Amino acid sequence: MSHESTPEERHTDQLDDPKAADLQSSRLSAIESTASESTPSQSTHPPKMTPKITPGRRGLPLPILPTRDDRFHQVLERMGAWIAEADDAGRPIYTSPSVLRVTGYTAEEVTRSRAIRVHDDDLEGLHEFVRKVHATGHADPFLFRMHHRDGHELWIEVNAVGWYPSPDGGFHSVSYNRDVTQRVEMYAALRESEERYRVIALMSNDLIVEVAADGRLTYVSPGASDLLGFTFKEIVDMAPFENIHPEDVSRLQSVLVKALESEAPVHFDPFRCRNKSGDYLWFESTGMVVRHSNGELRYLGVTRDISGRMREEERLREFAERMQRAQKLEGLGVMAGGIAHDFNNLLTPILGAASLGLTELDPDSPVRGHLLKIQRAAERAAALTNQMLSYAGKSPLLIEPLDLSKLVVEMGQLLETTVSGKTSLRLDLASCLPPIDADAAQLTQVVLNLISNATEAIHDGGGQVVVRTGEVDVSEASPSAIFADELKPGLHAFLEVADTGCGMDAETVSRIFDPFFTTKFTGRGLGLAAVAGIVRGHRGAVEIDSEVGRGTTIRVLFPIALRPLLKAAQNPHPVDNWRGHGTALVVDDDPGVRDLIEEVLKRTGLNVMTASDGREAIEIFRRNAAEISVVLLDRTMPTASGLEVFDALRATDPDARVVLVSGYSQERATEELAGRQLAGFLKKPFTPEELLEKTREALARE
């Protein structure tokens, strides 16, 4: 029987043979040298145990490894590696048993049949590796692919050393071969992932950023250069928060500190960051805190440019504020117009009665002085209601082509008296200014109110007021402009009044056009309110630029006239001794106005019928259309409006002469009548002379 020696006996035999002992020693030395050059990795396969086991310190079974070879083989198995020795011709003359665990081939198969099959693409590289070992005795580690016995592919990392002379006198090499398939696949997956995210970062409009605990940027995706204009190096070399808007720094620092402390997901609300041109862009960022291998915490997030969204939100907010301001002014205008209308109804009989009384009194009568006081008080009250109508944009307008520069020049002396104290007035007026369609009297009021307001803003009296005129092409009104939503694009003439006074804060600016709002000790707060109403009535806009301690500039814009409007011709014929013939129908819901008109017309010889509302007027006219010569019709009445009454009268008699009576402007009244032809228009409050003039003109019409 043949006897198979045990590992211990084989080891003893090798030690007894001097040549075998030298060969074994050189192998071990080469193994130790080669293994030290490679980074070990743990094999996924369990170690191969010898049959004999012994309990360990904790009672677990441990393998018995009596020889150095056994111990080395066990380590190699744990590392997923094997040792191979080749002769001068490159033939394997020894392979450690651990090759079975790695390749599926036994050591005998590897040494005798060369079972290992290298991938065709790696053969040339492996041959070059072997040539270097032969030439220099060593070479850098080399990666190659081979086929496992079951067919799948392995990545092997080989390290080798060679030497002369070997125990048999020739060149030998020892290689240390390690299965690194898991590492290669992991690196490949990592590279694929990095490439994927690199492409995403390049294609995305968002920025991927990494921020250290001190706020310093340690990484930013390539899109930052296109967006901000800085190179990557310029960005990472910046001091923490260097390009963040000063007003946003403390808020961002606080959020970053809290995020690092809690290591929770974090969101940075909109903040501003400066680009290379010096402009600020709006960003928001969302991400989370990550911990690096060295324990350092950093914020990793996606940062998005939201400048477009912020501009749109700002535009919508400004639009909403303009609409709210316009609605407030419109509401106040309706209220002011309604109050003025009612006051005009009250003032009309007062002013008319005082005028009639003065005509009947003897010039030496002691009562005459009292009536004159009543008349003057009524006229002042009428002026006040006109201011309220100006604010409401409903005051009567006498439209004509007007040059703003010439208007200011003609007001020169009046303006000098308006500017008081040591305040100086400077005119900077454009020549050949295109005309605007405007009421000269109302624009005179605008200029006086603006200059008066500017003068009063200069408390010490040592400042300057500048009046400018000019022409501007308005493509889009300033967001802060009053009535900007009604301003049409195109050429506009402007009147600008600037002062060096105390200026105003934002809250005051938002209220200066409100009626009855004033910062003065005295005053009714209707001056600038009237300016706003006049500008709105002329389809213009108002721009304000003011800052506390820096002064105020108010610019009023008016559209350029497309065609000149001719001023209505004045009737040169007096009405002092005029006598009327025929019948007049007086329609007004206010008994005082109705009685005044009736009394004045009867004095001229006219017969008078009266109606207190629209329906009554329609019935009276239908019954008496043949004998009614003229109708004095109030614009606003209960039961039926002036428009409805007008249409009903014309339906009965297409040639009916109708004089419209209203506290609002003629333009607004005629616009509401949609082009229907009137015989005349009488503005409340009116004097008996004005009433007779309009009645005479109506009766004279064919």
Residue 255 makes CB contacts below 8 A (sequence gap 6+) with 266, 268, 269
What mean pLDDT do residues 567-573 have? Answer: 42
Q: What is the CATH number of the domain that holds 693?
A: 3.40.50.2300
pTM of the model: 0.39
116 and 162 inside one domain: yes
Half-sphere exposure of 272 (CA within 13 A, CB side): 10
156 and 268 inside one domain: no
Q: Residue 447 in contact with residue 415, Cβ under 8 Å?
A: yes
DSSP, res 118: B
Check residues 365 and 646 and name the one with the higher pLDDT.
Answer: 646
Q: Name the least confident of 247-251, 319-323, 620-624.
A: 319-323
What value does the CA radius of gyration of the chain take, rounded to a whole number of Å?
A: 52
> How large a percentage of the chain has pLDDT more than 70?
73
pLDDT at 336 over 70: no
Angle, vertex CA 659, rays to CA 654 and CA 661, nearest 5? 140
Alpha-helical regions (H) of 80-203 = 99-103, 107-113, 123-136, 181-203
Closest CA to 82 of 207, 149, 176: 176
- Per-residue pLDDT tens over the stretch 259-296: 888 877 888 889 999 998 889 999 988 888 888 878 88
- Domain assignment present for residue 15? The answer is no
A 10 A CB-CB count for 150 gives 7
pLDDT at 65 over 70: no
164 and 300 inside one domain: no
CA gap 346, 364 in Å, rounded: 29
Query: Strand (E) positions, 148-228?
Result: 153-163, 172-179, 207-211, 217-220
What mean pLDDT do residues 596-603 have? Answer: 89
pLDDT at 319 over 70: yes
H-helix or E-strand spanning residue 616 = helix 614-624
Angle of helix 688-700 relative to helix 591-603, nearest 10 degrees, comes to 70
Q: Residue 554 in contact with residue 496, Cβ under 8 Å?
A: yes
Q: What is the CATH number of the domain that holds 209?
A: 3.30.450.20
Show the domain range for 174. Answer: 21-181
419 and 477 inside one domain: yes
Most confident residue range from 40-44, 393-397, 509-513, 545-549: 545-549
Q: Residue 202 in contact with residue 223, Cβ under 8 Å?
A: yes
Query: What end-to-end distance do the CA atoms of the chain give, in Å?
Result: 155
pLDDT at 523 over 60: no
CA gap 152, 655 in Å, rounded: 110
CA gap 286, 268 in Å, rounded: 6
Question: What is the structure's pLDDT at 208?
Answer: 81
The confidence band for 517, taking pLDDT boundaries of 50, 70 and 90, is low
- Domain assignment present for residue 190? The answer is no
The confidence band for 237, taking pLDDT boundaries of 50, 70 and 90, is confident
430 and 540 inside one domain: yes
What mean pLDDT do residues 573-581 have? Answer: 67
100 and 228 inside one domain: no
Instruction: Report the SS3 class of residue 469.
Output: strand
Q: What is the CATH number of the domain that holds 336?
A: 1.10.287.130
Question: What is the structure's pLDDT at 574?
Answer: 46
28 and 154 inside one domain: yes
Output phi, psi for 334, to 5 deg. -60, -45
- Domain assignment present for residue 358? The answer is yes
What is the number of structural domains in the chain? Answer: 5
A 10 A CB-CB count for 156 gives 25
A 10 A CB-CB count for 230 gives 18
- Domain assignment present for residue 572? The answer is no
- Domain assignment present for residue 570? The answer is no
pLDDT at 103 over 60: yes
H-helix or E-strand spanning residue 16 = helix 7-16
Residue 403 makes CB contacts below 8 A (sequence gap 6+) with 433, 435
Q: Name the least confident of 210-219, 283-292, 667-676.
A: 667-676
- Per-residue pLDDT tens over the stretch 435-493: 988 877 778 888 888 888 888 888 766 788 899 999 988 876 666 677 766 677 888 89
- Per-residue pLDDT tens over the stretch 495-515: 999 988 888 888 777 777 776
39 and 98 inside one domain: yes
Peptide bond into 685 cis (omega under 30): yes
pLDDT at 557 over 80: yes
541 and 614 inside one domain: no
Half-sphere exposure of 252 (CA within 13 A, CB side): 25
pLDDT at 136 over 90: no
Matching residue, tokens 């060969």: 23
pLDDT at 581 over 80: yes
Q: What is the largest CA-CA distance in the chain?
A: 171
The confidence band for 649, taking pLDDT boundaries of 50, 70 and 90, is very high
- Domain assignment present for residue 228? The answer is yes
The confidence band for 165, taking pLDDT boundaries of 50, 70 and 90, is low
Q: Residue 117 in contact with residue 150, Cβ under 8 Å?
A: no
Closest CA to 439 of 476, 402, 394: 402
- Domain assignment present for residue 571? The answer is no
The confidence band for 652, taking pLDDT boundaries of 50, 70 and 90, is very high
Q: Name the least confident of 67-76, 470-479, 504-513, 599-608.
A: 67-76
DSSP, res 589: S
322 and 277 inside one domain: no
349 and 372 inside one domain: yes
255 and 319 inside one domain: no
Check residues 352 and 5 and name the one with the higher pLDDT.
Answer: 352
CA gap 427, 406 in Å, rounded: 12
pLDDT at 31 over 60: no
Angle of helix 307-360 relative to helix 591-603, nearest 10 degrees, comes to 50
Question: What is the structure's pLDDT at 686?
Answer: 84
Query: Strand (E) positions, 527-657?
Result: 541-547, 551-559, 583-587, 607-611, 628-634
- Domain assignment present for residue 13? The answer is no
Question: What is the structure's pLDDT at 143?
Answer: 92
What mean pLDDT is reported for the chain? 77
Q: Name the least confident of 537-551, 562-576, 663-677.
A: 562-576
Q: Which of 240, 272, 305 is the last residue of a domain?
A: 305
The confidence band for 39, taking pLDDT boundaries of 50, 70 and 90, is very low
